[in-house]
Amino acid sequence: MNWVTRVRNAIPFIAKRETAETLWHKCKGCNAMIFLKEFEENQSVCPKCDHHGRIGPAERFAALFDDDSYEVLKPPVVGEDPLKFKDTKKYTDRIKAARLATGEQDAMISAKGEINGQTAVISVQDFAFMGGSMGMAVGEAFIDAVKVAIRAKCPYIIFTAAGGARMQEGILSLMQMPRSTVAIQMLHDAGLPYIVVLTDPTTGGVTASYAMLGDVQIAEPGALIGFAGQRVIEQTIREKLPEGFQRAEYLLEHGMIDMVTHRHDLRGTLSQLIGFLAPEKKAA
């Protein structure tokens, strides 16, 4: 960086020039160039091919909850880097980088609010945070959200998006699978619905635990859903897998999920399901 650039960046009243990256979005489905603002206003769904892009917790909450009706739950405090793990980078450095990039404490954020006047607790996994990987913080956030739902006597809804367990936490990460399963049983014992919305991608240990244990299983169009990757499966069974394998529509056709719902219709679908499944509020 030369001295002219350094001086220019240091002067606050000189606006930085907008670039193609800040104005346009290239759709991963059809490669069309879309105005970024138009794409974001359409809930990150391509207006040309309907490809559903990945979105984070803030966008989910804004699209689902009634205006200003929700409160983000405080993230849990867990021990960080329990194994003192290091690969090409220290685990602590990876966490710091993910927090800086996303502005979140970890890969799962929860909130309590209302959907068309009906109370619900929603958790969202953020794939932008270390691939949405399931570590101790994610497991604890899941359990905390379940407890809030039980106290509020309302449904618990989770939006999954993960590459699986967080390898940097080893067996402690895998232990979140049975812990989350026990939490779901707590919901069932309380007579409360557990609704899962599978988004792209949902894989690994997350799929092998709480992602596939919903009373109702919903998926967004085109979402990748599976345990092992397609290449690994093909190498193992030495056969070519069918077209669309592990995609939401394929799973619906084979009875693995209950419905595939467009992102624009999710709020209405969830509201309807809450009305069907949630216990009636007792008159005061």
Q: Which residues are annotated as a binding site for Zn(2+)?
A: 27, 30, 46, 49
Residue in the structure block whose two tokens are 């793990």: 85
Nearest to 110 by CA among 126, 131, 127: 126
The C-alpha atoms of residue 51 and residue 222 are separated, in whole angstroms, by 7
CB-CB contact of 155 with 274 (8 Å): yes
| Residues 207, 140, 104: CA angle, nearest 5 degrees | 90
- Secondary structure (3-state) at 261: coil
The DSSP element (H or E) to which 25 belongs, if any, is strand 24-26
Nearest to 181 by CA among 212, 204, 152: 212
Please state the separation of Cα 152 from the chain's center in Å: 23
CB-CB contact of 66 with 114 (8 Å): yes
Binding residues: 27, 30, 46, 49
Please state the separation of Cα 221 from the chain's center in Å: 15
CB-CB contact of 151 with 116 (8 Å): no
